[in-house]
Structure formats: C-alpha cells, structure tokens
C-alpha cells in the first residue's frame, strides 16, 4: 500500500503510461499467419484463355517516319571526323588608330591619330612601331599597310575636316 500513496514524479508517470500504450498497440497488431493455396485451373480453361489472346498485338510495330526507334542499332564509336575546308586565310587586325585631326601647312598635310594613350602626327612614308606604314593621305582617308602581312587598310577622315 505504501506504493500507491507515494508521490510519483509526473515525468516518470508519463513514461510508464507511454510504454503501456506502445505495448498494447504492438500486441494488438499480431495476426495469425494464413497459408494461401493456389488452385490450378483445369487444362481446358487454360486453352480457352489462350484462344482469346490476340497475338498481333504482341508483334513489333516499326516506327513511322520521324519517330525514334528505341530498338534501332546503336554505336558507341566516336563519330567520323568531317573533312574541313581549308582554313580561312589570316587577316590583319582592325586598325588601332582613332582620327584626331589634320593640319595643312604649305601644301603638306599632317594627320593626327591616337593609338591607346599615344598620339601620332603622320605623314606619307612614315612607319609606326614597325607594324604600320602610312602610304597615302587624302582629304577623305589615310591608307596604311599592315607590314607583317603586307595588307592595306584605310582610316576614314570625317567629312568637313
């Protein structure tokens, strides 16, 4: 009787109740095992079922044009290399110069251009950095030759200059 009159902490009481509930749920789920016995159909009934079978539905149907064939032979070999046309002929880079202005002094024309942070005063025949040569200066353009490739390039002078 001493046990029933004792103060039990609420946590301990909750733990005991929870264990009792879990045990009752687990015990209630047990079912007796049952053996399933399959009864074989008579041979005559099997033959009737086979007669209902539509064999045409089991035949492989070829895909229509435009459809992917999932049964088509596949190759994992690398694709054959395509012969490429001759490589494109190398070209000169675009002109790196920006037109700044021009001065005409006694029939002699000088053109002022910039390349990056550097400014140049150009006259025909002058070479810039061993890469560009000034061939001709007219009222509408300046003709350069890109020396590594001997390619001519033109820098347009804005109208009204």
Domain with 111, as residue range(s), is: 98-156
* Higher pLDDT, residue 11 or 134: 134
Q: What is the pLDDT of residue 86?
A: 78
Q: Give percent of the chain above pLDDT 70.
A: 75
Q: Give percent of the chain above pLDDT 90.
A: 26
In a domain, 80, yes or no: no
In a domain, 84, yes or no: no
Please list the alpha-helical segments (H only) found in 29-94: 43-51
**Beta strands per DSSP E along 62-131:** 98-105, 108-115, 118-122, 127-128
Average pLDDT, the chain: 79
142-143-149 Cα angle (round to 5): 145
| pLDDT (tens digit per residue) in 100-149 | 998 888 878 889 999 989 999 998 999 998 999 999 988 889 999 999 99
In a domain, 35, yes or no: no
- Distances in Å between the Cα of 161 and the Cα atoms of 17, 102, 110 are 102, 8, 12
CB 96 within 8 A of CB 116: yes
Lowest mean pLDDT across 8-17, 21-30, 35-44, 152-161? 35-44
In a domain, 129, yes or no: yes
**Exposed (0-12), middle (13-18) or buried (19+): which is 143, by Cβ within 10 Å?**
middle
In a domain, 62, yes or no: no
In a domain, 149, yes or no: yes
In a domain, 111, yes or no: yes
Rounded to whole angstroms, the Cα distance separating 154 from 67 reads 55
Q: What is the mean pLDDT of residues 69-92?
A: 80
User: How many structural domains does the chain have?
Assistant: 1
C-alpha dihedral (50, 54, 60, 65), degrees to nearest 10: -170
**Run of H or E residues at 21:** helix 10-28
Sign of torsion, CA 74 76 77 78?
positive
In a domain, 116, yes or no: yes
């Amino acid at each position: 009787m001493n046990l029933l009159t004792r103060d039990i902490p609420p946590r301990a009481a909750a733990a005991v109740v929870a264990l009792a509930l879990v045990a009752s749920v687990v015990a209630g789920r047990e079912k007796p095992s049952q053996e399933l016995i399959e009864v074989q159909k008579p041979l005559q009934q099997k033959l009737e079922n086979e007669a209902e079978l539509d064999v045409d539905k089991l035949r492989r149907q070829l895909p229509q044009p435009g459809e992917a064939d999932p049964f088509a032979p596949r190759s994992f070999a690398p694709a054959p290399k395509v012969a490429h046309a001759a490589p494109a002929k190398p070209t000169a880079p675009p002109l790196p110069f920006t037109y700044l202005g021009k001065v005409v002094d006694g029939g002699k024309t000088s053109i002022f251009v910039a390349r990056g942070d550097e400014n140049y005063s150009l006259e025909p025949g002058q070479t810039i950095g061993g890469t560009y040569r000034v061939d001709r200066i007219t009222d509408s353009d300046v003709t350069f030759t890109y020396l590594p490739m001997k390619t001519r390039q033109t820098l347009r002078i804005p109208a009204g200059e």
